[in-house]
Amino acid sequence: MRVGIGYDVHALVEDRPLILGGIEIPYERGLLGHSDADVLTHAIMDALLGALALGDIGKHFPDTDERFRGISSLALLEEVRRLLNEKGYQLGNLDCILVAQRPKLAGFIPAMQEKLAATLKVKLDQISVKATTTEHLGFEGREEGISAQAIVSLVKIEEEQ
C-alpha cells in the first residue's frame, strides 16, 4: 500500500465560475487559475501523484502549457488515474477537505463525491469529501480564497479492496 497527501489553494476572483470537485457551484466569484482552478481536484491529483512518487501537478500539467488553459481538472484527473493504473495501482480510498468561509458547500458534496468516484472509476464509499470554515480566520476566513487537502491510499491492482 502507498499513501499520499495533497494541498492546494486558489484565490477567489470576479468573473470566474466556481468549480469544486468537478461541480459548478453558484457563487458570485470563482477561483483564479490556468485551468478551471478546481482546488479540490488539484489537491487530489497531488495526493495521487505523491503516493506514486511522480512529483506534482505542476510537473505533469504546467501552467506555461497552453493546452491546459481553461481545461477541466477532471480531464487532468483522468490522466492521473491512467498513470496510477499504468503503475499497477488503484485508489483504496480518498479523504479530503475543502476550507472556505463561503459559499456553504455541504449541499454540493454528494454531487462532488459522485463526480470524483466516476472519474476515478471507484465506488462511492471510497470517496470522502468534507467542508469546513475557519471561523473568519486566515485568507479563507476573509473570503480571499479556498484551500483543499487530500489524503489517499493506493493498493496494488492485484490486491482485493
Q: Tens digit of pLDDT for each residue in 6-36?
A: 999 999 999 999 999 999 999 999 999 999 9
Tell me the three cell numbers of residue 75: 480531464
pLDDT of residue 159: 55
Residue 58 annotated as binding site:
yes
Residue 41 annotated as binding site:
no
Residue 119 annotated as binding site:
no
Which sequence spans correspond to the domains of the chain? Answer: 2-156
Residue 61 annotated as binding site:
yes
Q: How confident is the model at residue 65 (pLDDT cuts 50, 70, 90)?
A: confident
Query: In the sheet where 145-156 sits, what is the strand order?
Result: 30-31, 2-13, 145-156, 89-99, 127-132
Residue 139 annotated as binding site:
yes
Residue 2 annotated as binding site:
no
Residue 134 annotated as binding site:
yes
Residue 108 annotated as binding site:
no
Residues in the chain, total: 161
Residue 35 annotated as binding site:
yes
Residue 63 annotated as binding site:
yes
Pick the CATH number of 2-156 from 3.40.50.300, 3.30.1330.50, 3.90.1150.10, 3.40.50.620: 3.30.1330.50
Residue 136 annotated as binding site:
no
Residue 81 annotated as binding site:
no
Residue 60 annotated as binding site:
no
Q: How far lies 60's CA from each of 53, 123, 157, 161, in Å?
A: 12, 26, 23, 28
Q: How far apart are alpha carbons 4 and 142 in whole angstroms? A: 29
Among 129, 125, 74, CA closest to 98: 129
% of the chain at pLDDT higher than 90:
93
What contacts 143, CB < 8 A, 6 or more positions away?
12, 101, 102
Contact 112, 59 (CB under 8 A): no
Taking only Cα atoms into account, the Rg of the chain, rounded to an integer number of angstroms, comes to 15
Task: Please compute the mean of the pLDDT values over residues 78-102 and round it to a whole number.
Answer: 97
Could you count the other beta carbons within 10 Å of the beta carbon of residue 123? 11
Q: Tell me the HSE value of 36 on the side-chain side, using a 13 A CA sphere.
A: 20
| pTM to 2 decimal places | 0.95
